Amino acid sequence: MSKIRWGIIGTGKIALRFASDLQYAPNAELSGVAGRNLPNVRKFAEEFQTTAFQTYDELLNSDADVIYVATPHSSHLEHSLRAIRAGKAVLCEKPFAINCSQTEKILEAAKSKNVFVMEAMWTRFFPAIREVLSLVKSGELGSILRIETSFGYESSFDPLSRIFDPALGGGSLLDVGIYPLALTHMLLEESPAEIVASGKLSSTGVDESVSWAMTYSSGTRFLGESSVVNVLANEAVITGSDGEIRIPQFWCPKEYTLNGVTRSFDFPGRGFQFEALEVMRCLREGIMESPLQTHANSLHVMRQMESIRKMIGVRYPQDL
């Protein structure tokens, strides 16, 4: 089977972890990296024994088949569009962009150029999550009555950091709140009939903590919470009429518990290889959109985040 050559834009923590996990994706090859800080690019390239490109254009003009965009949220639109225009497939780190308008521009550009693009919602591709989705869809839990999820961590306030700077798409919702929303949409595949949300904003105007409740026409109730100032339960609990599933660290799980019985999954690395394998499968089959992480899924979750942001009063410069 032919190799798929990966180029990476960005040299931060996520880019490093993704590059490390590529070794666990058979026939994946890291062909180069580019970023805004050339010394960091060279250090990254040396660590992974790949090519350090001095500019983004040099990377985009290389033999890379697909570009992994691992820059801050505020740069996703620019870097995704540049890669698409260069005819490269794109795996863009979540969230796809800052808002729906930007997300739609990326998807429209990919369609126009007939180029594959996917949001890097790695959660969907973990073996534990794929098995949980299968169990829920098969009716193992009966009717889904309630879903409770939270993702929160404690960070120090820095108004210029990507977490608290509105120009960089700061706030808990885009950073980690996206995971509870994405998981619930995977499980229910329907739009809520009602959303109620509240949040606490930092002095920079981004959400440092958010909580929301959603009700669905099926009767399911979804309670979610995200924070960048408080450590939360950081698990998902799916309660059905016939049972319950608990998933610790549900955004990148190695286990889940069904009615008190735990099933564990052993794999190397952190799990970034699973989304990489999906991209590679799609490229080999010549399809422009993953049937698992569809463009519609990404837009649905982005619309929910926009609705919540409006309710709690968070507005980014990119929203103008």
Q: For residue 15, what is the domain's CATH number? A: 3.40.50.720
Spatial separation of the C-alpha atoms in residues 94 and 98, rounded to whole Å? 10
DSSP percent split of the chain into helix, strand, coil, nearest 5: 40, 25, 35
How crowded is residue 72: how many other Cβ atoms within 10 Å of its Cβ? 17
In this structure, the answer to whether residues 209 and 111 fall within a common structural domain is no
The CATH number given to whatever domain includes residue 229 is 3.30.360.10
**Average pLDDT value for residue range 30-45:** 97
Total count of domains within the chain: 2
Task: Give me the sheet containing 207-215, strands edge to edge.
Answer: 194-201, 207-215, 221-227, 144-152, 235-240, 243-248, 255-258, 261-264
pLDDT for 52 beyond 60? yes
Predicted pLDDT at 199: 98
Spatial separation of the C-alpha atoms in residues 194 and 115, rounded to whole Å? 35
In this structure, the answer to whether residues 148 and 210 fall within a common structural domain is yes
Nearest to 221 by CA among 292, 138, 144, 296: 144
**pLDDT, tens only, 100-119:** 999 999 999 999 999 999 99
Spatial separation of the C-alpha atoms in residues 112 and 106, rounded to whole Å? 10
Is residue 166 a part of any domain in this protein? yes
Predicted pLDDT at 2: 85
Spatial separation of the C-alpha atoms in residues 231 and 14, rounded to whole Å? 20
Is residue 281 a part of any domain in this protein? no
**CB 129 within 8 Å of CB 253:** yes
In this structure, the answer to whether residues 154 and 97 fall within a common structural domain is no
Residue 248 CB-density burial (10 A; 0-12 exposed, 13-18 middle, 19+ buried): middle
Is residue 277 a part of any domain in this protein? no
The pLDDT-based confidence of 197 (bands split at 50, 70, 90) is: very high
In this structure, the answer to whether residues 15 and 140 fall within a common structural domain is no
In this structure, the answer to whether residues 264 and 150 fall within a common structural domain is yes
Give the number of C-alpha atoms closer than 13 A to the C-alpha of residue 144, restricted to the C-beta side: 27
Which of 71, 101, 120 terminates a domain? The answer is 120
Is residue 280 a part of any domain in this protein? no
**CB 319 within 8 Å of CB 313:** no
**pLDDT, tens only, 134-165:** 999 999 999 999 999 999 999 999 999 999 99
In this structure, the answer to whether residues 27 and 113 fall within a common structural domain is yes
The pair of structure tokens assigned to 125 is 């591709």
Spatial separation of the C-alpha atoms in residues 253 and 267, rounded to whole Å? 11
Spatial separation of the C-alpha atoms in residues 237 and 146, rounded to whole Å? 8
Is residue 294 a part of any domain in this protein? no
Q: Is the pTM of this model over 0.85?
A: yes
In this structure, the answer to whether residues 145 and 234 fall within a common structural domain is yes
In this structure, the answer to whether residues 67 and 136 fall within a common structural domain is no
**pLDDT, tens only, 236-277:** 999 999 999 999 999 999 999 999 999 999 999 999 999 999
Is residue 191 a part of any domain in this protein? yes
In this structure, the answer to whether residues 130 and 187 fall within a common structural domain is yes
In this structure, the answer to whether residues 208 and 313 fall within a common structural domain is yes
The pLDDT-based confidence of 1 (bands split at 50, 70, 90) is: low
**Average pLDDT value for residue range 162-190:** 97
Domain that holds residue 45: 4-120
Which of 120, 145, 173 terminates a domain? The answer is 120
pLDDT for 320 beyond 80? no
| Residue in the block written with tokens 């998902």 | 236
Residues in CB range of 156: below 8 A, 6 or more apart: none
Is residue 172 a part of any domain in this protein? yes
In this structure, the answer to whether residues 115 and 141 fall within a common structural domain is no
In this structure, the answer to whether residues 219 and 154 fall within a common structural domain is yes
Is residue 72 a part of any domain in this protein? yes
What residue ranges in the chain does DSSP mark as E strands?
A: 4-9, 28-34, 66-69, 89-93, 117-120, 144-152, 194-201, 207-215, 221-227, 235-240, 243-248, 255-258, 261-264
Which of 101, 120, 139 terminates a domain? The answer is 120
